[in-house]
Amino acid sequence: MEGIAATGLWEKFRIREKLIKIQAKPRSVSFGYSLGVFLGTTPFIGAKVFIALIVTSLLKWNKTASVIGVYHINILTAPIFYGFSFLVGKWILGTSVVFLWPETISFSAFYEAFFDSVMIFYSLLVGGIVLGLPMAIGAYFLSMAILRRNDRTIQLQFTDPPDPTVIIPADPGIHDEPGILDQTIEAKHPITPLYTLITGASSGLGREMAIECAERGMNLILVALPGRNLDILCDVLEEEYGIIARYYERDLTGRDAIVKLVKDILPHYRINFLINNAGTGGTIPFEESSVEYLERIIQLNITAVSLLTRLLLPEIQKHPEALILNVSSMAAFSPFPYKTIYQASKAFVSNFSKSLAQELKETHVKVSVLHPGPIMTNHDASVRIINLGANGRRGLILARELARIGIDGVQRGKRTMIPGMGNLVNWLMMTKLPQWIVMRVLTRVMAKEVKKKKQLAA
């Protein structure tokens, strides 16, 4: 009966709705929520949310849930709770201090009352801890139970009835050149599970996205260049997480290779989630770049993203949860000297994703774009980032954290993701400052990298 009453209270105050809207692991949400509930009972007026965000960042718990928990003690509930916690703390400490309740209910009034005496603060702190610990433990188990029940409900809703044969017609006239898109691809897949297709999955962000998806129970189709040990990665993911993992070793810089990849996949697998992660780039003066270098960036960063999305979209649309995640870059937000073609290609990915998301706004398909900053994916990338100095390292985030942010974001329907405070600062600088200032800073930073590369090559 107590559990039913508590659940009813949650329904009344819409706490349940707030928590289940957070698309993250239930354990992360519950830990964050219980931390917020605990911090809410302390007398750290004005600093609770800040403390919650710091702790959740360090422990990788859900930040939004922690803020929800903090605000259970608000301007309406504070008089009752703090009055009771003060009495508890006063009794434990054995003090005779008197707490004069503020005449007006405001932040400044509470602040002055709490810090009027050291013993008042200590009494509130001790009482808050004593009351907050059981409240936090209860919040954790109750939220975990509700989130898990909600997950089971969603799984039942998204159970897809078997479809023995699916015919995917091309949209005539979408491409000027016949024979590439103006054809029908038959997808005959008798009762097969859903799959997530990830390009560039052998290392770096793509590999971490594969692991993150596997942790969430998604079956995988991984695509990367030959000789990148995709078979080993698939075996590890299957054994570790109990999912199905398949791989295709393909070079996506050729248009025909992309079309053949789709033809090889669709007759056997049902795709509901596409992650266009494969990409390439570099830092080099434009006049020194080779034709092959330019073509490779354009083919992989632009053509492959466009064609894969176009060819797989009809299949993705068939499923209740239909997701497309494209990986762009922070470089997309500003002209970038010495990264001329790379920057332009990532700006294409960004604008392409936003435009497609708007086109599909009235459908159930969710399209998102992730703008990571520097990623230390291998030795060469790590050396390059270190050589950039403090300005270049400001937006540095671990690839695993980026993978989590990207997948969480697309599942929540977030169109654009700029991960991390450092990248947000970079975005503000690149988009809000006068462009001549931005270009001057970027030129200096990139010129430093070019100089370092030439020194190492000499």
pLDDT > 70 fraction of the chain, expressed in percent and rounded? 76
Range of the domain at 53: 2-153
Give CA–CA dist 34/62, Å, rounded: 10
Asked if residue 302 and residue 448 are part of one domain, the reply reads yes
The token duo for 227 is: 């000789």
pLDDT of residue 161: 42
Q: Are residues 284 and 407 in the same domain?
A: yes
Both 321 and 380 in a single domain? yes
Q: How far apart are CA 208 and CA 408, in angstroms?
A: 14
Distance, CA of 133 to CA of 149 (rounded, Å) = 25
The predicted pLDDT at position 75 comes to: 64
Q: For residue range 46-62, list pLDDT tens digits in order.
A: 777 888 888 888 888 88
302 plus 395 within the same structural domain: yes
pLDDT over 50 at 40, yes or no = yes
Indicate the residue among 153, 182, 204 that finishes a domain.
153
Confirm whether 177 is domain-assigned: no
User: What is the model's pLDDT at position 396?
Assistant: 59
Are residues 121 and 209 located together in one domain of the fold?
no
Give the residue, 48 or 366, on which the prediction is more confident.
366
Express each pLDDT in 378-430 by its tens digit.
445 444 544 444 444 444 578 889 999 999 999 999 999 999 888 888 888 88
Structural domain contains residue 63: yes
What are the residue ranges of helices labelled H in 360-434? 379-387, 389-393, 399-411, 421-432
Query: Count of domains in the chain?
Result: 2
Regarding whether 96 and 19 lie in a shared domain, the answer is yes
What value does the mean pLDDT take over residues 99-128? 66
Q: What is the pLDDT of residue 247?
A: 96
At 405, is the secondary structure helix, strand, or coil? helix
Is there a domain that residue 23 lies in?
yes
- Average pLDDT of 28-32? 85
Beta bridge partners, 187, equal: 166
Instruction: Answer for the pair 357, 415: CB distance below 8 angstroms, yes or no.
Output: yes
In whole angstroms, give the CA distance from residue 233 to residue 210: 9
**Any idea what DSSP says for residue 286?**
G
Asked whether the whole model's pTM tops 0.85, one would answer: no
* Tens digits of residue pLDDT in 177-208: 445 555 545 555 444 689 999 999 999 999 99
Task: State the CATH number of the domain containing residue 421.
Answer: 3.40.50.720
Higher pLDDT, 114 or 264: 264
Regarding whether 58 and 105 lie in a shared domain, the answer is: yes
Per the prediction, the chain carries an average pLDDT of 80
Domain co-membership, 116 together with 17: yes
Structure confidence at residue 126 (pLDDT): 84
Distance CA 405, CA 409 (A): 6
Whether residue 14 contacts residue 146, with contact meaning beta carbons closer than 8 Å, is answered with: no
Q: Return the higher-pLDDT residue of 381 and 357.
A: 357
